[in-house]
Amino acid sequence: TLDVLTFGEAMVSFRSAGPLQSDAAFTPGLAGAESNVAIALARLGHRTGWVGRLGADPFGELALRELRAEGVDVTGVSSEADAPTGLMFLEQRTADTSRVEYRRAGSAGSRLCPADITSALELRPRILHVTGITPALSQTAHDAWRASLGEALGDDVFVSLDVNYRARLWDRATARDVLRARVGRADVVIASEDELDLVADGAEAEAAEALLSRGASYVVVKRGACGATVWTEGGRIDAPALPVRAIDTVGAGDAFSAGFLSGLLDGLEPGQCLERGVLLGAWAVSTRGDWQGLPRRGELDLLALGAGTTLR
Ligand code: ATP
C-alpha cells in the first residue's frame, strides 16, 4: 500500500538562463505541483504514487522517466495519443521572482477524469494529497477532483489539500466556490496567507477556526520568507523560515507540503510537522530546480551546518 497518493497535471518546464524574449538556453525538467510533492516524499523514503495523463510524446517520456527514477509509483499514469504533454517556460527574473509562460491548454494532463482516480484509490493510500490546481484544468479534471473527495473515498483516507491558487487558470470567485464545496473533506488544509480567503471567511484566526470546525485537524498557513503557522484544536504554533540564501524560490510551497506530510507519516507532533515543512521549504529555495535539489532523508540535517561547510 502507498503512504501518499496524489494526482494532477505534470508538465515539462523549460528553465531559461535569461529573459524569455532572448535567445538564452533552456534546461528541461519535470514540473507540476503534485508530482513535486510525490518526489519530495519519495526522497524521504515514503511510498508515493502519482496519477495523471501524459502525451505520447518525448516530453511525456521525460516526465515518466523522472517519476520512475525518483521511485514514484506510476501504475496509474496513462498516455494520450492525440493530446500533447503540457509545457511551461520559466524565467527567473530576479533571485526572488520568477515568471512563467504556460502552454497547457488542451494538454493530455487536462483530460484527467474520475475513473483515473477511482481505480488508483483502490491502492488504499494512507494520505490522498490534492491541490486546487486540478479542478481549474478542465471540466473532466474538475469532476475527477470532486469525485476523489466524494463518498467513494474511504473515511480512513487522510486528505491533504493545498489551495495552490493559479490566477492563470481561473478567477478567484470561481476558485472560491469550487474549493469551498469540498474543503470540508480535507484533514489538512495548506494555504498561503493570501489564499486563505478562498476556503474560509474572516481574518486568519477566524478562517482557521472555521476550517477546524468543518473537519480539518490542521490548518497550515505559509508566509514565504516569514515562515509558516499551523492551527489545530490546541491553538496556534509558528515557525520562522530558516535563514538560507534563496537562489530559486519555485517549488518552495510543494516542498513545504511534502515536509509537513512526511512529519504526519512519521507520527510527529504538529509543531514538528511544521518544522519539517519549513525545513523542506528552505531546501527548495536554497537549491536550483523545483525539486531536483531536495534532500534524501539522511541529508535533512545538512542545512543546519554553517555557511561554507564542505562535507568530506
Ligand atoms: P511557491 O508557489 O513558489 O511554491 P508558496 O507561496 O506556495 O510558494 P511560500 O510561502 O513561498 O510558498 O514558501 C513555502 C515555505 O518555504 C515557507 O513557509 C517557508 O517556510 C519556506 N520559504 C519560502 N521562502 C523562503 C526563504 N526565502 N527562505 C527560507 N525559507 C523560505
For the chain, the domains span 4-8+33-53+110-296
Number of H helices, E strands in the chain: 8, 13
pLDDT class of 95 with cuts at 50, 70, 90 = confident
Residue 143 and residue 114 in contact, taking contact as beta carbons nearer than 8 Å: yes
> Could you tell me which of 302, 236, 227, 244 has the C-alpha nearest to residue 271?
236
Closest Cα to atom 5 of ligand 1: 253
**53, β-bridge pairs:** 78
> Helix (H, G, I), strand (E, B), or coil: what is residue 240?
coil
DSSP β-ladder status, 11-16 and 158-162: unpaired
Q: How many angstroms is it from 153 CA to the middle of ligand 1?
A: 31
Who lines ligand 1 at CB under 6 A?
192, 222-225, 227-228, 241-242, 244, 246, 249-254, 256, 278, 281-282, 285
- Given CA atoms 2, 38, 189, 231 in this order, what sign does their dihedral have? positive
Catalytic residue annotation:
254
How many C-beta atoms lie closer than 10 Å to residue 68's C-beta? 12
Are 127 and 158 in contact by the 8 Å Cβ rule? The answer is yes
- Comparing C-alpha atoms, which of 154, 160, 157 is closest to residue 129? 160
What band does 307 get if pLDDT is binned at 50, 70 and 90? low
CATH topology of domain 4-8+33-53+110-296: UDP-N-acetylmuramoyl-L-alanine:D-glutamate ligase (3.40.1190)
ipTM greater than cut 0.90: yes
- CB-neighbour burial class of residue 228 (10 A; exposed 0-12, middle 13-18, buried 19+): buried
- At 269 the pLDDT is 98
3-state helix, strand, coil in the chain (%, to 5): 40, 25, 40
Greater pLDDT, 154 or 139: 139
Residue 258 per-residue DSSP state = H
By mean pLDDT, which of 147-156, 227-236, 303-312 is the weakest? Answer: 303-312
Query: Region 290-300: what's the mean pLDDT?
Result: 96
Does residue 248 register a pLDDT over 90?
no
Instruction: For residues 253 and 255, give the distance between their C-alpha atoms in angstroms, rounded to a whole number.
Output: 5
Q: Give the E-state strand segments of the chain in sequence order.
A: 4-7, 11-16, 26-31, 48-55, 77-80, 87-92, 98-103, 127-131, 158-162, 188-192, 218-222, 228-232, 235-239
**Burial letters for 3-38: b for 16+ Cβ neighbours within 10 Å, e otherwise?**
bbbbbbbbbbbbbbeeeeeeeeeeeebbbbbbbbbb
Ligand 1 centroid to Cα of residue 246, in Å, is 10
pLDDT bucket at 178, cuts 50 / 70 / 90: very high
